[in-house]
Amino acid sequence: MGKLMVLTLLGAGLALVGERLVAFRQRTNAFRKVEPVEPQNCRLIEGLENGSEDIDILPSGLAFISSGLKYPGLPSFAPDEPGQIFLMDMNEQNPKVQALNISDGFDKASFNPHGISTFIDEDHTVYLYVVNHPHMKSTVEKFKFEEQQRSLVHLKTIKHELLKSVNDIVVLGPEQFYATRDHYFTNFFLVLFEMIMDLHWTYAVFYSPREVKVVAKGFSSANGITVSLDKKYFASRMFCLRSLR
């Protein structure tokens, strides 16, 4: 009787895993046939051989690009090289990228940039906020952009217990932003289990120096986030919410 119970439970477990694997493949469009599309007005931007994760464009046409992300389960084009922030002027007829220098005092060797967002102060100073994964942890780095020197001055590292496995951010004001958590677990095998079982345990966070709180939850993988022009609504591929500032 005991053996029969074990076999029954084992069979039920394998059936559940099989069903979850099929559902996971469907969610990721693994069965979908991709039709080739000829690009119209596209061309390769050289200098981003280590990949580009995120881009944020200023009203002036200057674009920041994060590159060199190393993330569990994803291939890395340069595993022994730190990540970088590149600058590109969209006003140029043939725009090229330029790596921005980062001020001393910041641990550039472990720089692992993910999502980015900019904020322009009343005095027109540009601040760049970068999701960073040093040693596979999650922090948000605040930089000041020096346009003449084409450099970034590191101002502050932001940490909080709710800022784990951060994917992307959108900045509202000085040290005020929304952030998304794309995985509940940080261990690769547990992340894989989380994805296969479709656990809806991730969320979006509002951060400010005075208050940090979860503002939306119950998602399988809260990913990129953006803001409407009037800053009333914030949207991800997983949700849309009204600003709770």
Pairing type for strands 126-132 and 84-89 reads unpaired
28: tokens are: 């990721």
pLDDT of residue 19: 59
Q: What is the pLDDT, as a whole number, of residue 50?
A: 87
Predicted local distance difference test score (pLDDT) of residue 32:
73
Query: What local confidence, expressed as pLDDT, does residue 43 receive?
Result: 81
Mean pLDDT split into 10-residue runs, the chain, 245 residues: 60 57 58 77 86 93 95 78 95 93 94 96 95 95 96 97 94 93 82 78 92 89 83 68 56
Q: Own/partner pairs for 127-133, CB < 8 Å, 24+ apart? A: 127/155, 127/171, 127/174, 128/56, 128/64, 128/85, 128/152, 129/169, 129/171, 129/177, 130/66, 130/85, 131/166, 131/167, 131/168, 131/169, 131/179, 132/157, 133/69, 133/70, 133/71
Looking at the DSSP bridge assignments, the partners of residue 227 are 234
What's residue 10's pLDDT?
A: 59
Both tokens of residue 145?
Answer: 């952009």
What pLDDT, on the 0 to 100 scale, is given for residue 233?
78
With a CB cutoff of 8 Å and minimum separation 6, the contacts of 1 are none
Residue 114 annotated as catalytic: yes
- Known binding-site residue numbers: 53-54, 116, 167-168, 223
> Which parts are annotated binding residues for Ca(2+)?
53-54, 116, 167-168, 223
Phi, psi values for residue 142, rounded to 5°: -105, 125
Q: Which of 114, 133, 154, 183 is catalytic?
A: 114
SS3 (DSSP) at 193: helix
Q: What is the pLDDT of residue 166?
A: 95
pLDDT at 192: 77
Q: Report whether 53 contacts 113 (CB < 8 A).
A: yes
DSSP H or E segment with residue 216: strand 212-219
